Amino acid sequence: MGLGLGISFLHDAKKIRDDRSRNKTLQKKRIDKYRNLKNTKGEFNFPKVSEEELAKIKSDIRLEGKKQRRKEFLIISIVSIVVISVVLLLFQIHYMIKNNLI
Would you state the pLDDT for residue 1?
46
Over the Cα atoms of the chain, what is R_g? Answer: 34
d(CA 29, CA 36): 11
Q: What percent of the chain has pLDDT over 90?
A: 49
Tell me what pLDDT residue 53 has: 94
Rounded Cα–Cα distance for residues 62 and 5 (Å): 73
- Mean pLDDT of the region 40-56: 82
Q: Looking at residue 40, what DSSP letter applies?
A: S
- Across the range 59-74, mean pLDDT stands at 97
Q: Is the pLDDT of residue 66 over 50?
A: yes
Give the per-residue pLDDT at 85: 98
